[in-house]
């Protein structure tokens, strides 16, 4: 993590730090966990510095844009007080596709904009900052981001029916760049909104906080009837981590759809069994994407924490028999986490082009996978 701080410009006051929202969200959680374990305040400082830098870079328009200032349109003083209220850019190298420009699916992966699933990760890390430091401002920023993201990414189809979520929006959140809905975004939104609301209740001035009741209800409705089955390792890891967060919220009665736990467990088992049959973990490093596998590793370790919680609160979860049965079957795959970590700790495997092409995100997610407590624990 120190190397990551050095190579991305976090340790210096240079003009062009390399900020990328997904990676930086995991990095904040990692720094907080190192601080928790060592008591070294420098790591808490790095987490706070990283949050400020992300807001200053990704909360504002790009240097190559004709627009300037905060994405929200607020002036410098108000923008600094509400740095997330306009959303946050992804941090891609290329500028976004303008309205009327032809759509190029491959190029879209390299273009800037806003991803809902990246914003969700940032909400989570801000909430972790609030829990770790006791500073309410981080939770407030997370809720303001949630309110904005929900308002701009959700929409009602013209033909009626359930609301949906855009996958990718423009930097100023005025038009969709990719209108399709990501499979797990509604579930991630439901879990994360619930997490933010639970933290907000801990502060004495919570009456001044905007609540997320309507947004939580929206997400619960969007989740209804949706298939969660995937054999993508990063998606599987997200499901498993999400189930662990869900359980932590359920025991405090902070989750309105506890029955989703069984759906997530069943979907995870189907997907994981399919993924293992593909035997992609036996391929050489050149044919593997580390950050996707490491996402699965993090989720598998979250399973162990989930198991401990279920054992500690048996009465709360006594009605979820099929979920507990599926958990038992899922746990037999936990050893895959150690295999994934060991593979990517080998220096030779980090010399492959696939590792170097995604070096920063691989570094950070390997660090998370080596000790995911700062990311998966809500307390």
Q: What is the 3-state secondary structure (H, E, C) of 328-379?
A: HHHHCCCHHHHHHHHHHHCHHHHHCHHHHHCHHHHHHHHHHHHCCHHHHCCC
Closest by alpha carbon to 71, among 27, 107, 103, 113?
113
Closest by alpha carbon to 306, among 372, 362, 356?
372
Residues forming beta bridges with residue 60, ordered by sequence position: 70
Percent pLDDT > 70 in the chain is 98
Is residue 141 situated within a structural domain?
Answer: no
DSSP-H helix ranges across 279-320? 290-312
Is residue 346 situated within a structural domain?
Answer: yes
Is residue 246 situated within a structural domain?
Answer: yes
Is residue 111 situated within a structural domain?
Answer: no
- Residue 353 structural domain: 227-379
Compute the distance between CA of residue 82 and CA of residue 47 in angstroms, rounded to an integer: 18
pLDDT score of 206: 59
Q: Domain count for the chain, please give it.
A: 1
pLDDT score of 77: 96
Is residue 203 situated within a structural domain?
Answer: no
| C-beta separation of 334 from 308 below 8 A | no
| C-beta separation of 166 from 179 below 8 A | yes
Is residue 68 situated within a structural domain?
Answer: no
Is residue 52 situated within a structural domain?
Answer: no
Q: pLDDT for 120-161, tens place per residue?
A: 999 999 999 999 999 999 999 999 999 999 999 999 998 888
Is residue 240 situated within a structural domain?
Answer: yes
| Ranges in the chain, pLDDT < 70 | 205-208, 322-323
Is this prediction's pTM over 0.85?
A: yes
Please state whether beta strands 168-169 and 176-178 pair in parallel, antiparallel, or not at all (unpaired): antiparallel
pLDDT score of 207: 62
């Amino acid at each position: 993590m120190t190397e990551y701080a050095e190579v991305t410009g976090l340790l210096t006051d240079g003009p062009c730090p390399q900020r990328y929202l997904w990676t930086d969200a995991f990095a904040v959680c990692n720094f907080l966990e190192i601080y928790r374990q060592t008591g070294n305040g420098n790591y808490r400082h790095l987490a706070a510095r990283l949050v400020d830098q992300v807001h200053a870079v990704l909360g504002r328009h790009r240097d190559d844009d004709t627009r300037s200032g905060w994405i929200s349109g607020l002036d410098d003083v108000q923008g600094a007080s509400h740095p997330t209220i306009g959303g946050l850019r992804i941090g891609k190298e290329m500028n976004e596709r303008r309205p009327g420009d032809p759509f190029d699916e491959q190029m879209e992966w390299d273009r800037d904009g806003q991803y809902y699933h990246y914003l969700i990760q940032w909400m989570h890390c801000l909430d972790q900052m609030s829990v770790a430091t006791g500073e309410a401002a981080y939770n407030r920023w997370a809720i303001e981001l949630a309110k904005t993201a929900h308002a701009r990414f959700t929409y009602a189809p013209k033909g009626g029916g359930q609301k949906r979520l855009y996958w990718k929006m423009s930097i100023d959140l005025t038009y969709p760049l990719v209108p399709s809905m990501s499979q797990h975004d509604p579930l991630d939104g439901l879990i994360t909104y619930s997490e933010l609301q639970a933290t907000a209740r801990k502060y004495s001035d919570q009456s001044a906080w905007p609540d997320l009741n309507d947004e939580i209800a929206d997400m619960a409705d969007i989740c209804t009837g949706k298939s969660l089955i995937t054999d993508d390792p990063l998606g599987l890891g997200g499901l498993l981590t999400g189930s662990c967060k869900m359980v932590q919220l359920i025991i405090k009665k902070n989750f309105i759809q506890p029955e989703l736990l069984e759906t997530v467990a069943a979907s995870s088992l189907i997907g994981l069994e399919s993924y293992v049959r593909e035997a992609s973990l036996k391929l050489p490093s050149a044919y593997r994407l580390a950050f996707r596998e490491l996402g699965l590793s993090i989720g598998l370790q979250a399973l162990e924490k989930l198991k401990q919680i279920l054992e500690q609160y048996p009465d709360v979860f006594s009605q979820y028999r099929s979920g507990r049965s599926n958990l038992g079957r899922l746990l037999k795959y936990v050893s895959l986490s150690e295999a994934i970590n060991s593979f990517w700790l080998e220096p030779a495997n980090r010399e492959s082009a696939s590792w170097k092409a995604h070096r920063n995100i691989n570094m950070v997610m390997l660090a998370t996978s080596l000790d995911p407590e700062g990311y998966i624990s809500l307390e």
